[in-house]
Amino acid sequence: MRTNRVLAKLRQGKLVLVTTVTPYASPKLTEMVGMLDFDCVWIDMEHQDYSYDQLFDMALGCRASGVEPMARIRKGDYWTYSRPFEAGASGIMVPHCCTGAEAEQIVRFARFAPLGMRGIDGVEVSADYGMAPTLEYMAHANRETFVCVQIEDREAVDNVDAIAAVAGVDILFIGPADLSQSYGIPLQTQDPLIQTAIERVAAAAAKHGKAWGLPVGSATAAERYYEQGARFLSCGAAIILLQQGWRQIRQDFDALLQR
């Protein structure tokens, strides 16, 4: 069993830098991200067709280089909250959490007693494949895994204080695109309505001692949110980086051919 790098940094008030290898199910890429000293890899099972076997392989790459694997789950039955942990994720992100009652249900499925009622197995990788005493493993899992809920609906902003108050929720993560859609202004993420919503999330997180964050396009774009208290920031995706790199190569050669 191992200490969670994300939680260790958040408990010290330090920045956690997240990135994603979307859409590639590659343990080589997740291992590389760790070698580059990112803190967390966001593995998006909501919008990608990753299997649990692929999640296991990507998490194995994470463990090899010391970066934490976070799975954004596909919401469904109770097992969709616990299976990512059993496949090696050290944190889960739950999309579209809209009420305090829903946050409580998430914790019930994702945490062992006394916080929740997650089903006990005790032979997965996070339990050292059954070599860790089960009660010790359960306590360790409650302490060293994290639950991140997404605030990406107007209803969630209205209920953010109740969501943030739930014990067992560690991080509030804003989804600006879906949030803008919910407010009727799709992709207008800089609109005052959305910025005010972000401020409400930041205030609720501070009130209840929770971390919060959101995706950002660059360190420059992140600065104002960091100053507002955001400590869980995601930047970059494999597909975007590849597009940018290949586009630049194409442009460079087009310029050469025009000389």
Are 225 and 233 within 8 A, CB to CB? yes
E-only strand ranges, 58-128: 68-72, 91-94
Distance CA 232, CA 248 (A): 30
The gap from C-alpha 72 to its chain's centroid, in whole angstroms, comes to: 6
**pTM for this structure?**
0.94
Q: Taking the chain (259 residues) in consecutive chunks of 10 residues, what is each chunk's mean pLDDT? A: 95 98 97 98 97 97 98 93 97 98 98 96 92 96 98 98 98 98 97 98 98 97 97 97 97 95
- The predicted pLDDT at position 1 comes to 83
Distance CA 143, CA 117 (A): 15
> Each residue of 5-45: pLDDT tens digit?
999 999 999 999 999 999 999 999 999 999 999 999 999 99
Q: Is 132 helix (H, G, I), strand (E, B) or coil?
A: coil
Are 88 and 56 within 8 A, CB to CB? yes
